[in-house]
Amino acid sequence: MTRVAVYSYAHSVTYVADNILKSLKEIIRQSGLNPEHLVGKWASTLNAIRIWIESGHLELVVLEIYHPKTDELITRWDLTIVYAWTSSDGSFWTDTEQLAYHVRKAGIPPEQARYRVLLQTKPDSPHVDGWSDTSYRSTSGMVRQSLGSTVEHSGLGAQGGYWRQDGC
């Protein structure tokens, strides 16, 4: 019985990590941005997400879309990791329609916008090559919109949200 639960948790980690990245790619693509930067770092990002979910250290996956000249945040997408895995729940899904709706609602960033992916971990997380400490761009003057569950596999998943300018 333990082997089945271990296999199922490993399967859940893989499913959630893969679909978090696919969700980010869809947000980038539907925002009119070029996904090449994300695709070029796909293996490294997927590896880090998998390792830190498996160890229970990943808290948040962030996609910052910013203006390269002013370095100011245009919008930010958050995927908060939920660790409610259970071996008895066999549900799995990714709500790409919800993301598409909210990308349209958030508005298309300027053509010259850039983006980056940040992974927030708990203290004492395992080291993953290619990843180091950094800081977020300011969300001052912005409001966070919660989307609820975005990726789910047997209780392990991610809840989405995005930041928009206050008053939009």
* Architecture label for domain 2-165: 2-Layer Sandwich (3.30)
For residues 33 and 103, the answer to whether their CB atoms sit within 8 Å is no
Please name which of 130, 155, 134, 103 lies closest in space to residue 49, comparing C-alpha atoms.
Answer: 130
pLDDT in tens, 47-96: 999 999 999 999 999 999 999 999 999 999 999 999 876 655 556 546 56
pLDDT in tens, 11-31: 888 888 998 999 999 989 988
Q: Where are the domains of the chain?
A: 2-165
pTM of the predicted model as reported, rounded to 2 decimal places: 0.84
The CA distance from 30 to 16, in Å, is: 21
